[in-house]
Amino acid sequence: MKFVLVHRIPGRARLRCEQRFGPRTAEALADGLDAVDGVEGVRVNPRTGSVLLVYRDEGTLSRACLFLNGAPCTAEKPLVRDTGRAEGRPGLFPFFRYLFLRPLLPVAVNMVTAFSGALPYLRRCVASLSRGRMDVDALDGAAIAVSLLRRDFRTVGLLTLLLGFGDALERYTQKKSLENLASHLALQVDRVWVQRDGEEMLIPFSELKASDLVTVRAGSAVPVDGVVVRGTALVNESSMTGEPMGVMRTQGASVYAGTVVEDGEIHVHPTSIGKDTRMQQIVRFIENSEQLKAGIQGRFEKLADRAVPFTFALAGLVWLFTRSLTRAASVLLVDYSCALRLATPLAILAAMNEGVKHKVMVKGGRFLEALASVDTVVFDKTGTLTQSRPEVARVVPAPGFEADEVLRLSACLEEHFPHPVARAVVHGAEKRNLRHAEEHTEVEYVVAHGIASQWRGRRVLLGSRHYIAQDEGVDLTPMEEHIAALSREGYSLLYLAVDGGIAGIIAMEDPIRPESPELVRRLRDMGIAHVLMLTGDDVRTASVVAAGLGITEFRAQVLPEDKARVVRELRQSGRTVLMLGDGINDSPALSSADVGVTLRDGADLAREVADVVLMGGSLKELVTALELGRGAMRRIHVNFTATMVLNSVFLFGGLTGLLRPGLSAVFHNLTTLGVSLNAMRPALPGGK
């Protein structure tokens, strides 16, 4: 295996291996790297072939690279953070050994076993203290050292057993939570059929080359991103788009790894293999999403760290007044950080995992926290609250023009553009059997405003009222009566002008999504006081649509740059803002909000900048996303309260001598296990 250094900053580095390996190899690599002098932390993830190192100095990194490859690693890219190490499922054999075998062994053997088990914790304690850090490692090591001084080797054995089990449980639960989250998206392909030298053969996926022609038949997953060279197949792309209906893919069409051929057979030329496919990019995003910590997680961790010096001080006072090392050790073994550090990220991961199951992709813990505190929801209208399938409802010509002429000329201009309104105009002309041969010159498209061109030597403009009346100065007075009537009926209006005069109006009807009114009602029931709609329509049209949705706040004739400004103003007023939009022109507003949300069929840029993607394509999933955030924060606060109360009780027991060190360790670890299970409740069978 060959590992390449892909990310590095001082003290942290990530290496990746293109060759797959299993859990046993991962554990062996973790153990070997743990033994390298200067390595302070390791995580090996066999699913993505990555190794994360926390190291002391550059010499340590070189020694680690030598262990992995036999040569220094030099490639470098920006950092992606991670911590920990790979571990298998915590076993019960150590408890069996302690309870049943230890009493049968000679005292000398138990002494040696106790010392050997204590050494790793003593080393970690010394390392923390030498760096000036009073953390949980220092607490654990101090408690074990006190028990050793008392020659209480039975307690030493119990402490190292419980601490080791706790460490293994923490690594295992974090690893499993993260893997479960990624496994919903990960591609599992071991062997693929390829065409080589005119022959079809089955080869290991790891041996696949970019020059191979991959054969995919009905029932099989597409193993690569690529282009169909020959064949026709019905491909289910729900893993990428959320759309359950299969789509036809023929010669020249693109296909993506992780999608499934439902019917037919295709031969695919790979464009991306393995870690470069879109699916694996999503998996890497999930793997690295822990770096987007919730603010509450950081606050709890800092609070727990601040408690450590007080625990030391309290243990010192206990020994000073009682001269009892037993009571001092009992105090040292009660710390608040283990449960908080483990349960909080587990609650975040469990909520993200639950979101993926319900087709809600949340891109990090801090966005779950923001979802829990949202009090204002801002909607873009077109394509979000509406179906984004507008239709031509009516055509009203100005004096001197015919309705068919207005629609024909508009379709002639709009056929060059793929957006929904343009398609609707072209489709409206086709339904009326209006042919629109190109008689205009080059078309100028003004983003979010309209179109300008030359037709038979005359300047033609097509677009919004803002563009026609304000930007281009066209007088709309001759059509004001019609404009008012159409606006009252809730139509969106498209204006056509020729040589500076109004030529006609096209009334567009964009049906409201069936779930939109129900969504607005649900948001009100959830206590979200402010629901705001943004639209480029005029005030009268916007008011009709808003009334139909049950929305009382709206802004009309809003330009793309205005959307972001509105969101920023709301945030500056102290509100926590969620913005839901699906277009390229919504992207600045999505970035400006506390939480940006888009739909699975939104523009690529919108999906990129959004913090939450509704992969099922339904607005109902917005309620799911909000409930996920609230549920995660509720579990985190319950866990915090339980941790503080129970550990304070155990601390009192240690102070009064009611709890010996062994019992303190048992109760402390049971508390950690309990809050961890509560944090993972959504991921457990029957959990909510």
Q: What is the pLDDT of residues 431-448, one digit of tens each?
A: 888 876 555 555 665 544
d(CA 204, CA 195): 13
**Distance, first Cα to last Cα, the chain:** 42
- Please tell me whether residues 457 and 571 are part of one structural domain: no
Tokens, residue 30: 């973790």
Q: Walk along the chain (688 residues) in steps of 10 and give the mean pLDDT of each run.
A: 71 74 74 78 75 79 76 37 40 57 71 81 81 71 76 72 60 52 51 82 81 84 86 72 61 81 85 61 47 52 68 80 75 64 72 82 80 92 77 91 91 72 84 70 59 83 86 90 85 89 90 89 92 84 85 84 87 93 77 86 67 85 92 86 81 75 70 75 56
- Quick check: helix, strand or coil at residue 686? coil
d(CA 520, CA 532): 10
- Please tell me whether residues 402 and 427 are part of one structural domain: yes
- Quick check: helix, strand or coil at residue 162? helix
Give the model's pLDDT for residue 10. Answer: 66
Give the model's pLDDT for residue 286. Answer: 45
CB 576 within 8 A of CB 594: yes
Give the model's pLDDT for residue 368. Answer: 84
- Please tell me whether residues 405 and 488 are part of one structural domain: yes
For 10-76, where are the E strands, in sequence order?
12-17, 39-45, 50-55
The verdict on residue 440 lying in a domain is yes
Query: What is the DSSP-derived secondary structure letter of residue 274?
Result: G
- Please tell me whether residues 551 and 606 are part of one structural domain: yes
Concatenate the DSSP letters of all residues of 119-131 into one string.
HHHHHHHHHHHHT
- Please tell me whether residues 431 and 488 are part of one structural domain: yes
* CB burial of residue 38 (10 Å; 0-12, 13-18, 19+): middle
C-alpha 12: how far from chain center: 23
CB 683 within 8 A of CB 354: yes
Give the model's pLDDT for residue 532. Answer: 94
C-alpha 421: how far from chain center: 32
Give the model's pLDDT for residue 76. Answer: 35
- Please tell me whether residues 176 and 294 are part of one structural domain: yes
Give the model's pLDDT for residue 622. Answer: 93
Structural domain ending residue among the three candidates 581, 616, 651? 616
- Report the CATH number at residue 12: 3.30.70.100
Structural domain ending residue among the three candidates 509, 537, 559? 509
Query: Degrees (nearest 5) of the Cα angle 394, 399, 403?
Result: 30
d(CA 385, CA 388): 8
- Please tell me whether residues 239 and 341 are part of one structural domain: no
Distances (CA, A) of 373 to 37, 51, 296, 553: 45, 36, 12, 20
Give the model's pLDDT for residue 514. Answer: 87
Give the model's pLDDT for residue 671. Answer: 76
Give the model's pLDDT for residue 623. Answer: 93
The verdict on residue 297 lying in a domain is yes
- Please tell me whether residues 98 and 54 are part of one structural domain: no
- Please tell me whether residues 480 and 421 are part of one structural domain: yes
Give the model's pLDDT for residue 87. Answer: 43
- Please tell me whether residues 592 and 641 are part of one structural domain: no
Give the model's pLDDT for residue 506. Answer: 93
Query: What is the DSSP-derived secondary structure letter of residue 237?
Result: -
- Report the CATH number at residue 594: 3.40.50.1000
The verdict on residue 538 lying in a domain is no
Structurally, the chain folds into a number of domains equal to 5
With helix as H, strand as E and coil as C, how does 311-372 read? Answer: HHHHHHHHHHHHCCHHHHHHHHCCCCHHHHHHHHHHHHHHHHHHHHHCCEEECCHHHHHHHH
**Closest to 488 (Cα-Cα) out of 450, 422, 537, 534:** 537
The verdict on residue 161 lying in a domain is yes
- Report the CATH number at residue 406: 3.40.1110.10
Instruction: Name residue 30's amino acid.
Output: A
- Please tell me whether residues 412 and 520 are part of one structural domain: no
What share of residues in the chain are helix, strand, coil (percent, to 5)?
Answer: 50, 20, 30
Q: What is the pLDDT of residues 484-512, one digit of tens each?
A: 888 888 787 899 999 989 999 999 887 88
Helix (H) or strand (E) holding 373: none
Q: Which residues contact 6 (CB under 8 A, 6 or more apart)?
A: 14, 15, 16, 75, 76, 77
Residue 380 is a catalytic residue: yes
CB 687 within 8 A of CB 364: no
The verdict on residue 312 lying in a domain is yes
The verdict on residue 271 lying in a domain is yes
Question: 415 in the Ramachandran plot: left (φ > 0), alpha (ψ -120 to 50) or beta?
Answer: alpha
Is the pTM value of this prediction over 0.95?
A: no
CB 326 within 8 A of CB 150: yes
The verdict on residue 354 lying in a domain is no
The verdict on residue 621 lying in a domain is no
- Report the CATH number at residue 252: 2.70.150.10
Query: What is the DSSP-derived secondary structure letter of residue 457?
Result: T
Q: Which residues contact 671 (CB under 8 A, 6 or more apart)?
A: 339, 642, 643, 646, 647, 650
Structural domain ending residue among the three candidates 572, 587, 616? 616
Catalytic residue among 152, 380, 537, 582: 380
Q: What's the farthest any 2 CA atoms get from each other in the chain?
A: 110
Give the model's pLDDT for residue 71. Answer: 42
Q: How many CB atoms lie within 10 A of CB 243?
A: 15
**Structural domain that includes position 523:** 360-382+514-528+546-616
Q: Which residues contact 457 (CB under 8 A, 6 or more apart)?
A: none
- Quick check: helix, strand or coil at residue 209? coil
- Please tell me whether residues 498 and 523 are part of one structural domain: no
